[in-house]
């Protein structure tokens, strides 16, 4: 059953709401309060990030010429620390972004949106259910999502064809994946590219694919046997199976992504938000598949981000009147079409899928159907930072997944 609920006339209702409350007249105050209402604090790591935020502004402005919103912020990895000080300043922007995975961590900064949504006729069921679960903390919605992104396995179609391999199916098993990765390794090329990161990368995504979770009932569950097994499977790709190169702790995404787009590696686990960038480099060679699982039954973590209002905002209603124009189906669909982000509302999915190969679009749809939300704890940032530091030891075989995850579990609580 689809994790989306039918929108019916919701799109029209959103359009009417946005048009009736243009941001040009939204703020009831003046001076600093008005400026803050039309400012957003977010991550701006790359030109792609900036282009995405500008696409939201442009799409909202197309519906309402009076719409105004400026945005700025640090790089993604710095954002989660800096947002905690920036948003308590007297001149803090009223709107901020958060990942669903970080909503728990930023709950002290985010204003509950329930009453504003009710007054505007916006329902949680208008959005992807997994994303709304992640954006809801202690029974309150803290942000409205613009995307719902299941992590995927990207692959190089040409490399598969030259190796005489079939393209991965929507029932791709880890057994077949490993056979393919070995067949694709040789002559300076590798079956897989890996990063030092936990999610949007092989270790955490295989941990989820194997049936594990990173938290339950508000507590970290990093030592869940299934999660440990999946992380170890990913580590083994380097030191045991030798179908990938061990990353360095400082690598972040770059080296692995470059290995994939340059044809040095045939596969990589990443988010759908990278589709546009990968397609520019690989063109028709780019394929999208489900994350392999031991049984062939797809299971993937659904990540995504959304817009929230700062508790420090002096005019929260005015800020919500701006925010809601960013999350209408029309705006989300326009950005999905332009930037490649998987939309958080089902009515916009056709725009996203329109210019993509049918098998790639189908893989994402299947993962949305079989995905699990990424729900974390307040120590998620600490966990990610520590995993990135120690994962190279796991890939090189000097520590096991059990060793690393037990240490993280004990230190993060």
Pair 223, 231: CB distance under 8 Å:
no
Read off the pLDDT of residues 182-239 as tens digits, 9 standing for 90 and up.
999 999 999 999 999 999 899 999 999 999 999 998 899 999 999 999 999 999 999 9
- Residue 356 to residue 343: CA distance in whole angstroms: 14
Report the pLDDT averaged over residues 340-351. Answer: 88
Q: In terms of C-beta distances under 8 Å and separation of at least 24 residues, what long-range contacts does 21-26 make, across chains too? A: 21/321, 21/324, 22/64, 22/66, 22/67, 22/325, 23/60, 23/64, 23/66, 23/67, 23/68, 23/69, 23/321, 23/322, 23/325, 24/64, 24/66, 24/67, 24/68, 25/66, 26/318, 26/321, 26/322
Q: How confident is the model at residue 339 (pLDDT cuts 50, 70, 90)?
A: confident
Strand order of the β-sheet with 39-41 is 70-72, 39-41, 95-99, 305-309, 144-145
Average pLDDT over residues 347-357: 88
Residue 24: predicted pLDDT? 35
- Provide the pLDDT for residue 346: 87
Contacts of 44 (CB under 8 A, 6+ apart): 50, 53, 71, 72, 73, 74, 75
Q: Where are the alpha helices (DSSP H) in 101-153?
A: 114-120, 129-135
Distance of CA 17 to the CA centre of its chain: 27
| Total residue count of the chain as it appears in this document | 413
Whether 249 has a pLDDT exceeding 80, the answer reads yes
pLDDT in tens, 143-187: 999 999 999 999 999 999 999 999 999 999 999 999 999 999 999
32 — pLDDT class (breaks 50, 70, 90): low
Q: What is the mean pLDDT of residues 360-377?
A: 90
Domains of the chain in start order, with CATH, are 34-149+303-358 (3.40.190.10), 152-290+378-412 (3.40.190.10)
3-state SS class at 342: coil
pLDDT, position 20: 38
pLDDT at 314: 95
Examine the pLDDT at 30 and tell me if it is beyond 70: no
User: Is 367 strand, coil or helix?
Assistant: helix
Is residue 413 predicted with pLDDT exceeding 50? yes
Tell the residue number behind the tokens 């620390």, with chain if given. 81
Of the given ranges (11-20, 64-73, 350-359), which has the lowest mean pLDDT?
11-20
Tokens (6 digits) for 318: 């005015």
Positive or negative CA dihedral for 97, 100, 101, 103? Answer: positive
pTM score > 0.95 for this model?
A: no
Mean pLDDT of 35-58: 94
Closest CA to 37 of 64, 65, 68: 68
Could you tell me the CA-to-CA distances from 398 to 62, 331, 401, 402 in Å, in that order? 55, 48, 10, 12
């Amino acid at each position: 059953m689809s994790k989306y609920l039918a929108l019916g006339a919701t799109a029209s209702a959103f359009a009417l709401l946005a048009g009736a409350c243009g941001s040009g007249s939204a703020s009831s105050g003046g001076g600093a309060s008005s400026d803050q209402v039309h400012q957003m604090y977010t991550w701006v790591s790359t030109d792609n990030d900036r282009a995405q935020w500008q696409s939201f502004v442009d799409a909202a402005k197309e519906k309402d010429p009076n719409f105004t919103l400026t945005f700025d912020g640090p790089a993604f990895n710095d954002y989660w620390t800096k947002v905690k000080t920036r948003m308590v300043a007297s001149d803090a922007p009223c709107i901020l972004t958060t990942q669903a995975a970080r909503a728990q961590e930023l709950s002290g900064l985010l204003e509950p949106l329930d009453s504003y949504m009710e007054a505007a006729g916006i329902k949680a069921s208008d959005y992807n259910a997994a994303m709304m679960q992640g954006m809801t903390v202690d029974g309150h919605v803290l942000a409205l999502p613009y995307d719902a992104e299941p992590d995927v396995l990207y692959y190089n179609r040409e490399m598969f064809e030259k190796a005489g391999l079939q393209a991965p199916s929507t029932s791709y098993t880890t057994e077949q994946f490993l056979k393919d990765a070995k067949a694709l390794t040789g002559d300076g090329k590798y079956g897989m590219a890996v990063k030092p990161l936990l999610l949007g990368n092989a270790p955490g995504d295989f941990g989820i694919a194997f049936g594990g979770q990173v938290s339950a009932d508000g507590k970290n569950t990093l030592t869940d046997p299934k999660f440990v097994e999946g992380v170890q499977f990913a580590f083994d790709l380097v030191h045991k199976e030798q179908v990938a190169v061990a990353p360095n702790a400082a690598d972040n995404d770059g080296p692995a992504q470059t290995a994939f787009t340059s044809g040095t590696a045939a596969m990589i686990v990443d988010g759908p938000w990278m589709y546009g960038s990968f397609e520019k480099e690989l063109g028709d060679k780019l394929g999208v598949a489900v994350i392999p699982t031991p049984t062939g039954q797809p299971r993937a973590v659904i990540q995504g981000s959304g817009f929230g209002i700062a508790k420090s905002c002096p005019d929260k209603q005015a800020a919500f009147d701006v925010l809601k124009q960013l999350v209408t189906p029309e705006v989300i669909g326009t950005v999905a079409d332009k930037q490649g982000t998987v939309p958080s509302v089902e009515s916009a999915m056709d725009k996203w899928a329109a210019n993509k190969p049918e098998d790639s679009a189908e893989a994402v749809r299947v993962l949305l159907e079989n995905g699990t939300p990424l729900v974390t704890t307040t120590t998620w940032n600490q966990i990610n930072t520590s995993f990135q530091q120690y994962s190279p030891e796991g890939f090189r075989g000097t520590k096991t997944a059990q060793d690393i995850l037990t240490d993280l579990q004990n230190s993060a609580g």
